[in-house]
Structure 1
Amino acid sequence: MLHRLAAERATGAFTRAGGTLFLREGRVVHAESPAATGLDVLLTRGCALSRKCWETALTQAARDGRVAQHLEASGRVPVGVLELCRRTALYDAAFFVLAPGGGPGRFRRKVRDQLGAPGGVTATAVEGETVRRLAFLDRIWPDARIDVLPPAPTAAGGRLHMVPNRQLRILELADGTRTATDIARALGRPAFHTLVELRRLAAGGLVAPAQHACPGHPGPDAAAGDGAPVAGSGPTVAGSGPAAPAPPGQEFVDPDVALLRRLRDALEAL
């Protein structure tokens, strides 16, 4: 459906369970997802833009839907920084919109986003990046439950001196109640980047999905019900979800070659 809309040079909102892609003349110009970190968080937490400036831009653009132009005109956000954060937010949200299990899509014609930024990217580019990200996550650690269930520290937490700073801040917030989305927003980071570090921490045996926890935010598989994994692909996340991979260090009667290869790839990715 998305490719057909792109071919028709359609303008409107393409929505699935994971969020919405906004199209203008067939190109994706903006994306929103409750599981992703929005542009407002990226700008106000990671840049010099204040929350007040962001809200002022929203108020001024309430009628014309040109938030990006108002931000540029204010001089508070350099054009390059705004474009970088805009593209980051777009791909971050699109990952959850297009990931497997998002259910059927629907399209509302002539609906426009508030951002009103020029340009956009092709539907093919957005889809290709989503596929690449799904494969990358599975190469790190092929258990997608950590993406939706609140991560909790394991007994291996004594190895914190070996954890890089970018992961340490995530680990400090992984208390078994916050989801990956909560952690990403608290740190002002893209949700996908947080998923990458959480998968690395899981591969290192430092975090695991909290038992009997319920996701606080819907992911791309929210429509599937019963807490289905959201970010994996292929046989590891098909059907009712994957079996829990054996933690590093478990003894086997016979060597599990596939697991050893995954652990090797995870260690090389650190």
Structure 2
Amino acid sequence: MTELNTRQPTAPRNVSSLLASLGEQKRNCTVLVTGTPGGAIHLRAGLVVAVETPGAPTVEGLLLRSGRVTEEAWAAVCAADPHHDRTAAELAGRGLIGAGEFEVVCTAAVFDGAFALSLTTPESWEVSEAMPVVRSGRTVHPERLIRESSNRLAVLSDERGSAGERARSRVRRTPAAEAVEATPGRSARLQAVLDAADGRRTSRDIAFTLGRGLYPVLLDLKRLEDEGTIERETRAPAPGRPSTAPRSLPPRETLPDMAAPGGGELPRRVPGTNSLQPSESPGPPTAR
């Protein structure tokens, strides 16, 4: 792991090393990552409080697309709390969502955003002043976040392709899906994912459509692929080209709720050489 100190300032070799250094210094800052998809990692006292990226739904997206909170209600919350300092209290006070559920959604978004960032190699990064962000009071140690992202990559990678290939591929139903749809007791969650697999959407599109995290959607797609009800396109869309697939579905039964997931001076901008990967030292146990 690259160490940063005032006597011998050196640039961290990757985002993981940077987060470790910021954690040691207990920094309040935002790391801006450029690339595809790129994003922002927010830290308070060296701990991660939020991760935002176009590669996965944010807290706002999870709340609105899942139907937990309406757009009008969310706009009222943001107007009353423009700096996102009291979001949990505003939501609870308006009877929209309890503090506990809000914490679950925020924590899931942290792990999901970090996982989305780990699917590709960043081009560069920059450490800026701490930026306002929707968050709960819960924090995550950088090492735990990195280890969890690595675990998720391993779970989704097999002889049929890597996690990144799965995330970029468009998926479609197979003829076998018609028979499965009529099976009694079919999970509404799985059925919703199956319905969204129209041959135009990627896993990211489906996650945004359903208001669920990217990783749990990828797990469901892997299960559907194992049972033969969906197939992935062999030719994936170019990494730098966003999908234009529609992100809305015909009216259907209410979707189930998302489950929770198990100083020295720093360089302003440096080239990236690696994505989020575990460092050499072990961290706290990962919560799934």
TM-score by length of 2: 0.67
Q: Percent identity?
A: 25
Is residue 2:25 matched to residue 1:8? yes
Cα 1:213–1:127 change in 2 (3 A) is closer
| 1:46-85 to 2 correspondences below 5 Å | 46=66, 48-63=68-83, 65-85=85-105
Deviations 1:192-238 (A, max 9, x none): 110111112223333222355526648xxxxx9xxxxx99xxxxxxx
Q: Is residue 120 from structure 1 mapped to residue 139 from structure 2 by the alignment?
A: yes
Separation in 2, partners of 1:116, 1:194: 22
Answer with 126-135 or 70-79: which moved more. 70-79
CA contact (8 A) 1:36 1:181 kept: yes
Q: Counterpart of 1:76 in structure 2: which amino acid? A: L
> 1:173-206 CA distances to partner (integer Å, 9 max, x unpaired)?
1111112122122222211110111112223333
Hey, what's the Cα distance between the residues in 2 that align with 1:64 and 1:165? 33
Alignment partner of 1:22: what SS? strand
1:90 to 85, 106, 110: 110
TM-score, normalised by the number of residues in structure 1: 0.71
Change (3 A) 1:149 1:48: closer
Q: Deviations over 1:86-108 (max 9, x none)?
A: 111111111112x1532255233
Matching of residue 208 in structure 1 with residue 227 in structure 2: no
Unaligned runs of at least 5 residues, structure 2:
1-17, 244-271, 277-288
**1:141–1:203: 8 Å Cα contact kept in structure 2?**
no
Number of matched residues? 221
* Mapped contact 2:84–2:134 kept (Cα < 8 A): no
Q: Distance in 2 between matches of 1:40 and 1:64?
A: 12
- Superposed displacement of residue 120, structure 1: 1.0
Q: Which amino acid aligns with 2:229?
A: L
Structure 1 portions without partners, runs of 5+: 219-223, 225-229, 232-270
Q: How does 1:186-225 map to 2 (within 5 A)?
A: 186-210=209-233, 212=235, 214=237, 217=242
Query: Secondary structure at the residue paired with 2:51?
Result: strand
Q: Which has the higher helix share?
A: 1
Amino acid at match of 1:185: F
User: What one-letter code is carried by the residue in structure 2 that aligns with 1:186?
Assistant: T
Q: Let me know the Cα RMSD of the aligned residues.
A: 3.0
Q: After the TM superposition, which of the residue ranges 158-167 and 197-206 deviates more from structure 2?
A: 158-167
Question: Contact (CA 8 Å) 2:109, 2:213: kept in 1 or not?
Answer: yes
Q: Secondary structure at 1:49's aligned position in 2?
A: coil
